Structure 1
Amino acid sequence: MKKVLLGIFGLIFLALSGWLGYYFYKKSNTDPIVYKTEKPFVTNIIKKTVAMGSIVPRREVQIKSQVSGIIEELYVEAGQVVKAGQLIAKIRIVPNVVNVNNAQTTLQTARINYAEAQKELARQQGLFEQKVIPEQEFNRFRVDARLKKEALESAESNLQIAMRGASRRTGSASNSVYSTVDGMLLDVPVKAGGSVIERNNFNEGTTIATVADMKSLIFEGKIDESEVGKIREGMDLDLTIGAIEGRTFRAKLEYIAPKGVLEEGAIKFQVRAKVLLDDKDFIRAGYSANADIVLDKKDSVLAIKESLLQFGKDSTFVEVETAPQQFEKRLVKTGISDGINIEVVSGISKEDKVKVKEPEADEKKSNT
């Protein structure tokens, strides 16, 4: 039994000895770890934030009808440039039975009142000629007759407007729709033959057309609360429009909302900027755009990649090569960063070689 146990222990000992020998052999033949290095460089660093939004006209007006009816004629289409006062559409009025009935009743009452005033005026005139009543008393009846005549003419005009949308007295037709501003027609949502509702105190009415000045555009977007304190009115913006490739447009920040709104769990503030266009530029309304707002900028500064920095409890440092694959820690003072490169104010020079934190094995190890 002892011989069996001794044999087992011997086999185990031989196996362990062989494994340890193989381990130390592989260890001695393992390729050494080689760290790459990078030198600081001189570059321009721009620190900026991005606001997402869209391009919209500064002045956009909706043209609405003053009467209800049916579009009889439509004289314009979307994309056309119009002038203030230009005829856009003509509406065939469909008389409202209640309004026409009320206008007819008012007209009939005005006729009766005027006829009675005329009779009374004639009677009072005879008395005045006979020196029965003074002139002052007669003038009162004459004024009353004139007022009754004005009421009659007004009632006739109201009936004409209720039935046809125009009156001989005013000489203008309320069933004609005109542009109120100069600009381009962005949208004409109605068609000839379609019905429209008048604009009044209880209804916004049907929009006949939307007119905007496409030479005066603004960027409207929103910025996170963490960045809003770093911007101010008058800052320059670089606009990138997704639909227009290879172009960057300039803009000037002119408004920052004093109050933020909660969106997707974050407080955001609305910003507005004037888009600076050349005479030949044409941008369509509604394009989505991103605005790069420059917070800080430094030219020709010494910098390294931000990924090379290492951090201690209260310090920022890099590892500088002092001999082949030998490094020492150097405390550095940093400046602005654009998220990729960071300014180095002090601690290293342009000739130093800074250790890259991720090691690389040499070619032998990579081949195996």
Structure 2
Amino acid sequence: MSERFSPSAPAYPLATTSSPTPSVPPSTQGPKLLDALRTQLRVMHYAIRTEDAYVDWVKRFILFHGKRHPRDMGPKEVAEFLSHLAVARNVSASTQNQAKAAILFLYRHVLGTQLPWVDDVVIAKVPQRLPVVLTAREVRSLLHELNGTTALVASLLYGTGMRLMEGLRLRVKDIDFERREIVIREGKGSKDRVTVLPENLIDPLQQRLRKTQQLHQTDLDAGYGEVHMPDALQVKYPKAGRAWGWQYVFPSQARSVDPRSGVIRRHHLSEQSVQRAISGAAKRAGIHKPCSPHTLRHSFATHLLQAGYDIRTVQELLGHANVATTQIYTHVLNKGGRGVLSPLDQL
């Protein structure tokens, strides 16, 4: 009978909390399993959202198999769990893939086990759906229902094609008003890219930066003012976190504790607040389509293609690795059902 998994197991026991990385454990006992997982994810510079998601999936995997330790399980148990997600839970293909990636990361990078290819998994069906796109009139009505910082963020997403988190993580130094461009750092896939800075946003952004600079000076006077630095730059440049150029363009209204380091900092604006504001504005504007911040990115790409820009240019602005991903927006170039004139209209 295989060993049951318990918090007191000597090799990588399960951690019940998600506290920051603990100090180096005694040599007589290895680190707890989930703490070791978090440590490895941080060593490999995974985002904190990915870290939390991977830890959660590993917990679910362990609980699904009656708290058996992962080292006592293998491809069969992994296949059973992933199939359960697709069959019983009816999760999407992307959700199932994330769960699979989390479990494989655990075995490969924490337990040091290379699992053979799992062939018996029931794969969640990948839906073939077209993106929701707003018309120019609908975008105008949506932006009209927003105000303040949220209106500026929404305008930036539509005007540049940024993803929501790319816009909220925008730093002061990455806006170039002279070249009329914005550098997007560490986008999806940890890739940098350059996108257009709309002329209509130059004055609003400059006004936003003046307010942000005043807030940053207030933090400095109070003994704070340090912002989160990517990767190991905080160690390499200890004072850079307080520099004006590294500050977020859209800072939060309140300081908060960094969940990893415990340092009190001012993070960027909450994505939930922007999502709620855009959803509410869409209802007030009478837009009955599903509307989220990402809808503005879809609309940006579609409207550029409608304006005659070539698909390669749109691909670069969106940061797609493959032009096939961008081609989904070409559906709008065919008016009606693939541009066909219905025989009913010829009567």
Asked whether the two chains share a fold, i.e. TM above 0.5, the reply is: no
Q: Which has the larger radius of gyration?
A: 1
TM-score (norm 2): 0.18
Higher relative contact order (CA 8 A, sep 6+): 1
Kindly indicate which of the two structures has a greater share of residues assigned to helix: 2
TM-score (norm 1): 0.18
